Amino acid sequence: MKSHTEYLWFNTKNRREIIHITDKVRETVKKSGVEEGFVLVSAMHITAAVYVNDLEEGLFEDIWEWLEKLAPYRKDYKHHGTGEDNGDAHLKNLIMHHQVIVPITKGDLDLGPWQRVFYAEFDGQRRKRVIIKVIGE
C-alpha cells in the first residue's frame, strides 16, 4: 500500500469563491504512482468545502443562491458574539461538507462524465489549505 500527500493553498480575492481543482488533484494522483485506490480531498478549514459537481457557471450561480437561502449572511448569528462575522460560512460548510473521496482506477481519477472537483470558499481573503491524500497500490 502506498500513500502520498500534498497540500493546495488558497488566498482568495473574494470572500466567497468556487475554484475548479480537478487538474491539481489529478496531477497529485499521477505523482503518487497509485494505480488503484482512492484520493481524499479535504478542506482543512471550517468555513470552506470540497465537493464534486458539474463545471458550469450557471450551476455556480444556482449553488450560491441555494446556499444563501439556507444559510444567509446575517449580522445576528450567535457566533458573531465571539468577534467573528462568518456564522453563515460555518453553516454553508455543514451543507456542502468539507471533503470528498474519489476512486482511482488505472492511475487516474475515476469520475463520471461531468463530474469535477471544486474548492468552495465561504469566508476567504486569507490563507487556507486543502489536503490531498492518495492511498492505494
Helix (H) or strand (E) holding 71: none
Q: How many residues does the chain have?
A: 137
Fill in the amino acid letter for 96.
M
For residue 1, what are the CA distances in angstroms to 14, 47, 61, 105, 134? 40, 33, 41, 15, 10
pLDDT digits (tens, 9 = 90+) for 79-116: 999 999 999 999 999 999 999 999 999 999 999 999 99
Fill in the DSSP letter of residue 125. Answer: S
Full-model pTM: 0.96
> Domains (ranges, CATH) in the chain?
2-136 (2.60.120.460)
Q: Give the model's confidence band at 18: pLDDT under 50 very low, under 70 low, under 90 confident, else very high.
A: very high
What pLDDT is recorded for position 14? 96
pLDDT digits (tens, 9 = 90+) for 34-87: 999 999 999 999 999 999 999 999 999 999 999 999 999 999 999 999 999 999
Q: Give the model's confidence band at 22: pLDDT under 50 very low, under 70 low, under 90 confident, else very high.
A: very high
In sequence order, the β-bridge partners of residue 50 are 119
The residue among 61, 69, 17, 66 whose CA lies nearest residue 43 is 17
The HSE-up count of residue 39 (CA atoms within 13 Å, CB side) is: 32
110, 111, 112, 116: CA torsion to nearest 10: -170
Fill in the DSSP letter of residue 44. Answer: S
